[in-house]
Amino acid sequence: MSRTLTIPRPDDWHLHLRDGAVLRAVLPETARYFGRAIIMPNLVPPVVTGAQAAAYRDRIMDALPDGMNFTPLMTLYLTEDTDPADVAAVHGSGLVTAVKLYPAGATTNSASGVRDFDRVRPVLEKMAEIGMPLCVHGEVTDAEIDIFDREAVFIDRVLDPLRRATPGLRIVMEHITTQQGVEYVKSNAENLGATITTHHLVINRNHILVGGIKPHYYCLPVAKREEHRLALRAAATSGDARFFLGTDSAPHTDPNKESACGCAGCFTATNTISILAEVFEQEDALDRLAGFASEHGARFYGLPVSAETITLSRGDPVTYPPKIDTGDGPVTLFDPQMPLHWRVV
């Protein structure tokens, strides 16, 4: 017997679209289901000015197929040379929604990120003044810190001091992966939210390493122990408005994933809604899916919840194509390794 569930049209509060042929291929996979998305600025070169953000937005809209309705919410890549006045101007114009903080070297195309946090303090103070959110990739990059500990160390060493120094700053801890991340958000409610990805609700580090290296499960922040995955599932399905969906869907062509030094990222745009419905059903929390996918993030960013809706139907398992073809090569879709019974109808 089939069942249906109708929710407001979801938003993705952390999305990589890339550029060129990959952008044209993957954008419809998001726009099919999502009304808006926070667009990551870590291109080469990165999106650091309002003019670059406007040009990238135009390329996204040019790539959007006829008949699809989608709003890209642009971000600026924070550097130590970012001008506070420029940030305020592009935010006031409505062009840019948020600023993205990458610690230098933390993830794909993050070499231009921040090394000395004191040098960006004027920007952060201006953002606090105007109510502009800061999206944070929360990992330290010190070579002596184990990769599985870098999020927890970042919270203690960087994030907490930053928040104490700029208490009015609205911060999104993006793609949290640890129990420590969950607990920090829950204990610091004011001006703080967190996105959780689809894939971190499904995989732990065993999926990457057991039985041979699985490059299509390698992402940054890297998946952690099972106890952390369970903490993320509990947070996502709790109904707590501080947690909301940011897929971090990150397409890389197969040759760039399946190499001696493969790129980090899981491409989940195509099947995210089906996976989320399956996870929330497993946790007896389908009544909270709308909050996580459609409502909490919009309210944190001060935007209206979508007046549009999507309807999901539960029935026989749905299948998705294993790869998305692009002009630059195939991109492999994330495999959740479980049957998916929910589809958008």
Active site residues: 248
Residue 284: count of CB within 10 angstroms of its CB: 9
**Contact assessment for residue 210 and residue 226, using Cβ atoms and an 8 Å cutoff:** no
Distance CA 281, CA 174 (A): 24
Q: At how many degrees (to 10) do helices 226-236 and 179-187 cross?
A: 40
Q: Under 8 Å CB-to-CB from 248, ≥6 apart: which residues?
A: 14, 15, 16, 174, 175, 195, 197, 199, 219, 265, 266, 268
Pair of tokens at residue 152:
């927890």
Distance CA 30, CA 270 (A): 7
Q: Nearest CA to 127 among 174, 89, 80?
A: 89
CA distances from 2 to 89, 309, 317, 342, 345 (A): 51, 19, 11, 9, 12
Helix (H, G, I), strand (E, B) or coil at 249: strand
> Which residues are 8's β-sheet partners?
309
Question: Could you say which DSSP state residue 112 is in?
Answer: T
Pair of tokens at residue 224:
């952690």
Distance CA 315, CA 281 (A): 13
Residues present in the chain in total: 345
**Contact assessment for residue 67 and residue 31, using Cβ atoms and an 8 Å cutoff:** no
Distance CA 298, CA 305 (A): 6
Return the amino acid letter for 258: E
Question: Could you say which DSSP state residue 108 is in?
Answer: T
Runs of H (alpha helix) within 105-204: 121-130, 150-154, 160-165, 179-187
